[in-house]
């Protein structure tokens, strides 16, 4: 499995499990399968056990570094426990995996726009 396939498989498993913060509900296997093949998703079953790391995070997105010397998968996490971050595998099928804590996304005016007495 390469980084692109792994990223798609993880994204599909997160969709199936309802891990995407913006989605808020599981999609089900049929909808998730549009993003990855069954074999790829099933090969990740072990990593989605509660004690293995991928089961609990609230996720923004999953990406990968295309064209890098060593491609890796990056999981952008909205929230997750310290235990979850420690349990994440460093690699899946020899593809490095990294999680980046992003926090909750917020939309609104820039803090600098709220400063009074300053012309824009």
Residue 38, domain member (yes or no): yes
Mean pLDDT of the chain: 78
For residue 111, being part of any structural domain is answered with: no
Supply the range of the domain harboring residue 12.
3-105
Among 43-52, 63-72, 96-105, 109-118, the least confident range: 109-118
**Has residue 112 been placed in a domain?**
no
Coil, helix or strand at residue 85: helix
Q: pTM, whole model, 2 decimals?
A: 0.72
Percent of the chain at pLDDT exceeding 90: 17
Cα distances (angstroms) measured from residue 102 to each of 36, 61, 66, 75, 93: 25, 10, 21, 10, 25
| Average pLDDT estimate for 94-111 | 79
pLDDT digits (tens, 9 = 90+) for 46-68: 667 665 567 678 888 899 998 87
When divided into structural domains, the chain yields a total of 1
On whether residue 116 sits in a domain, the answer given is no
**Within-domain flag for 64:** yes
Residue 96's pLDDT band, with cuts at 50, 70 and 90, is: very high
Quick check: is 74 in a domain? yes
Task: Report the pLDDT value the prediction gives residue 22, as an integer from 0 to 100.
Answer: 79
């Amino acid at each position: 499995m390469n980084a692109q396939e792994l990223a798609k498989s993880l994204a599909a498993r997160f969709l199936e499990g309802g891990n995407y913060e913006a989605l808020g509900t599981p999609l089900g296997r049929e909808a998730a399968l549009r993003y990855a093949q069954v074999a790829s998703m099933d090969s990740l079953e072990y990593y989605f056990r509660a004690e293995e790391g991928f089961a609990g995070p609230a996720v923004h997105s999953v990406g990968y570094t295309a064209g890098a010397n060593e491609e890796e998968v990056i999981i952008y996490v909205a929230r997750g426990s310290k235990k979850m971050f420690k349990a994440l595998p460093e690699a899946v099928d020899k593809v490095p995996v990294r999680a980046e804590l992003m926090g909750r996304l917020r939309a609104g005016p820039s803090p600098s726009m709220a400063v009074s007495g300053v012309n824009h």
